[in-house]
Amino acid sequence: MNDFFRIKICGVTTVADAQAIYEAGADVIGLNFYPGSPRCVDLETAATISRECPVPIVGVFVNHSVAEIQEVGAVVRLDYVQLHGEEAPQMIGQFPGSRVLRALRCKADAQAAIDYLADCRGQQCEPYAALLDAFAPDEYGGTGRVLDWNMVRQERAAFPVQRLILAGGLKPENVGEAIRTTRPDAVDTASGVEESPGRKSLPRVRDFIAAARQAWFEIDQAREKISSTEEYPR
C-alpha atoms less than 13 angstroms from C-alpha of 34 in its C-beta half-sphere: 24
For residue 213, give every residue at least 6 positions away whose Cβ sits within 8 Å of its Cβ, in sequence order, or none: 6, 7, 25
For the question of residue 133 being annotated catalytic, the response is: yes
For the question of residue 10 being annotated catalytic, the response is: yes
Integer Cα distance of 26 and 40 in angstroms:
20
DSSP state of 192: G
CA distances from 60 to 103, 153, 162, 205, 233 (A): 9, 26, 20, 20, 48
Which residue type is seen at 158? Answer: A
Integer Cα distance of 40 and 20 in angstroms:
19
Integer Cα distance of 56 and 14 in angstroms:
15
Rg (CA), the chain: 17
User: For residues 218 and 179, is the Cβ–Cβ distance under 8 A?
Assistant: no
Strand partners, 229: none
Of the residues 3, 10, 53, 188, which is catalytic?
10
Of the residues 17, 106, 125, 133, which is catalytic?
133
Catalytic residues: 10, 133
